[in-house]
């Protein structure tokens, strides 16, 4: 109850003073980057069907992208997922069935076989099983071992107890927390398990939410539905990061971005932004090397 009141209060403050709150988050990132990670959540078959086109758009601009993939869809659509591996792009473990996939308000999410339980409400054993099963699916079907994870619907449905499970699998990172709620102000931070967390970036107009396609376009009454509006917001975001340093970690639903035409606009903007576009695995490896160098210097 207390947590819910705190979240509601934070949301109200963000709505009343979005610029102040967004600026406060960015100020904590000064001196970092400037860089950007772009990821795509393949939650539904319609998103998986869009993967090939997304890869083509990325390759045409020489941009990196990461894909959070669900085990059951990997088994159902192996060829589409193999395209990600063939392109040399990154796959994140997004659980085997994606708990809480069912949504009565959307035709594509209304199937009887869509999981309904929330990821943060299922048992610890079930969460562990979901993560391990998706890992096994990636290895068995794709010959690919993920190095990172994203919780289904992330944010408030993400739980810290997944980190030891990820560490046991040898994972380097997760991208499941929200920048506005993170201890680091949105910068990557290392959990006590050793796993690096990359919080998802805030919307400039709704700083305690997420800058993503669901918030902007996908859900009914999306916050930024006008053509080009989402890209204009990102351009402003990128300019702030370039000026003072920082990290943008944005995620999209492939089908919504393609159907709206926003993905082409966004990728063109990103290509010209001056930000380094880098995947999570590269950033995680850099962090380990930098931490190792600091340790050696301290010992010396």
Tell me the pLDDT tens digit for each residue of 13-30.
Answer: 344 445 566 777 777 777
Per-domain residue ranges for the chain? 18-299
At 37, is the pLDDT very low, low, confident or very high (cuts 50, 70, 90)? very high
Say if residue 12's pLDDT is above 50: no
Q: Which long-range contacts (CB under 8 A, 24 or more apart) does 58-64 make?
A: 58/87, 58/89, 58/267, 59/87, 61/267, 61/268, 61/270, 61/271, 62/271, 63/38, 63/267, 63/270, 63/271, 63/277, 64/38, 64/89, 64/90, 64/277, 64/278, 64/279, 64/282
The rounded mean pLDDT for the chain is: 87
pLDDT of the residue at 18: 52
pLDDT for residue 155:
65
**49-53, 87-91, 154-158, 247-251, range with the lowest pLDDT:** 154-158
- Is the pLDDT reported for residue 11 higher than 80? no
Give per-residue pLDDT as tens, 207-263: 767 888 877 886 667 778 889 999 999 999 899 889 888 899 999 999 999 999 999
Q: What is the pLDDT of residue 107?
A: 86
Which pLDDT value is given to residue 21?
64
Q: What integer pLDDT is reported at residue 7 of this predicted model?
A: 46
CA angle 22, 14, 201 (to 5 degrees): 45
Q: How many CB atoms lie within 10 A of CB 298?
A: 7
Classify domain 18-299 by CATH number. 3.20.20.370
* Model pLDDT, residue 298: 47
Spatial separation of the C-alpha atoms in residues 146 and 144, rounded to whole Å: 6
Q: Provide the CA 61 distance to its chain's centre, in angstroms.
A: 21
Q: Which of 35, 26, 39 is nearest to 253 (CA)?
A: 39
pLDDT at position 28 is: 74
Entry pTM: 0.89
DSSP character for 153?
A: T
Which pLDDT band holds residue 294 (cuts at 50, 70, 90)? low
Average pLDDT of the segment spanning 198-212: 83
16 Cβ neighbours under 8 A, 6+ residues apart: none
**Strand ranges, E, within the chain:** 35-42, 66-69, 90-93, 148-149, 173-174, 189-190, 196-197, 247-252, 276-277
- Of 127-136, 193-202, 238-247, the least confident: 238-247
């Amino acid at each position: 109850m207390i947590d819910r009141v705190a979240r509601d209060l934070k949301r109200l403050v963000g709505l009343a003073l979005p610029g102040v709150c967004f600026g406060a988050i960015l100020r904590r990132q000064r001196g970092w980057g400037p860089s950007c990670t772009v990821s795509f959540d393949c939650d539904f078959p319609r998103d998986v069907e869009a993967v090939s086109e997304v890869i083509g758009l990325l390759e045409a601009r020489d941009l990196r992208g990461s894909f959070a993939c669900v085990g059951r869809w990997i088994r159902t659509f192996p060829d589409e997922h193999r395209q990600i591996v063939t392109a040399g792009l990154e796959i994140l473990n997004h659980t085997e069935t994606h708990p809480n996939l069912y949504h009565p308000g959307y035709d594509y999410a209304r199937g009887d076989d869509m999981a309904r339980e929330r990821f943060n409400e299922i048992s610890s054993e079930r969460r562990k099983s979901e993560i391990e099963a998706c890992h096994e699916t990636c290895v068995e079907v794709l010959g690919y071992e993920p190095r990172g994870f994203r919780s289904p619907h992330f944010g408030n449905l993400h739980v810290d107890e997944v980190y030891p499970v990820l560490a046991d699998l040898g994972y380097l990172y997760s991208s499941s927390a929200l920048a506005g709620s993170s201890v680091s102000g949105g910068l990557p931070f290392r959990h006590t398990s050793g796993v690096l967390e990359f919080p998802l970036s805030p919307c400039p107009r709704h700083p305690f939410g997420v800058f993503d396609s669901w918030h902007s376009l996908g859900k009914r009454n999306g916050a930024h539905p006008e053509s080009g509006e989402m890209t204009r917001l990102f351009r402003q975001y990128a300019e702030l990061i370039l000026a003072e340093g920082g990290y943008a970690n944005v995620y999209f639903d492939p089908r919504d971005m393609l159907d709206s035409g926003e993905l082409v606009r966004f990728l063109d903007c990103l290509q010209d932004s001056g930000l380094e576009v880098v995947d999570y695995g590269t950033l995680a490896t850099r962090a380990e090397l930098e931490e190792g160098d600091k340790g050696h210097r301290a010992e010396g």
